Amino acid sequence: QKEVEQNSGPLSVPEGAIASLNCTYSDRVSQSFFWYRQYSGKSPELIMSIYSNGDKEDGRFTAQLNKASQYVSLLIRDSQPSDSATYLCAVNFSGATNKLIFGTGTLLAVQP
């Protein structure tokens, strides 16, 4: 059973701090990794995608991938109250299809 694991939270950080969200996955041949943000009652929206080991930065967001440890993380610098949402980690376990498997999400609460 291929799985994606996330701490459900809530993760509470003060405004301006760095929020660190973590995700582990069960299959070493996974190729593609995504972070989606979902506000309550809304649809998921893509924040970051990462395919290679290392860091990928986009504005205040940095995704980090370590395939040997089967670990992917998302850092949010200078956290804002508007960042408060559920963050979903998603993994493409097979190169043969585009199917993504999602973790259950981590609820982030940024305190003003």
Partner 1 sequence: NAGVMQNPRHLVRRRGQEARLRCSPVKGHSHVYWYRQLPEEGLKFMVYLQKENIIDESGMPKERFSAEFPKEGPSILRIQQVVRGDSAAYFCASSPDRGRDSGANVLTFGAGSRLTVL
Work out whether 2 is an interface residue with partner 1 (CB under 8 A).
Answer: no
Q: Binding partner 1 by CB under 8 A: which of 19, 21, 35, 44?
A: 44
Burial annotation 12-41 (CB, 10 A radius, 16+ → b, else e): ebeeeeebebbbbbebeebeebbbbbbeee
Q: Binding partner 1 by CB under 8 A: which of 1, 69, 82, 98?
A: 98
**Interface with partner 1: number of residues (CB under 8 A):** 24
Work out whether 105 is an interface residue with partner 1 (CB under 8 A).
Answer: yes
**Residues 7/104, Cβ–Cβ less than 8 Å:** no
Work out whether 92 is an interface residue with partner 1 (CB under 8 A).
Answer: yes
Of the candidates 77, 81, 71, the one whose C-alpha atom is nearest the C-alpha of residue 103 is: 71
Q: Binding partner 1 by CB under 8 A: which of 15, 51, 53, 78?
A: 51
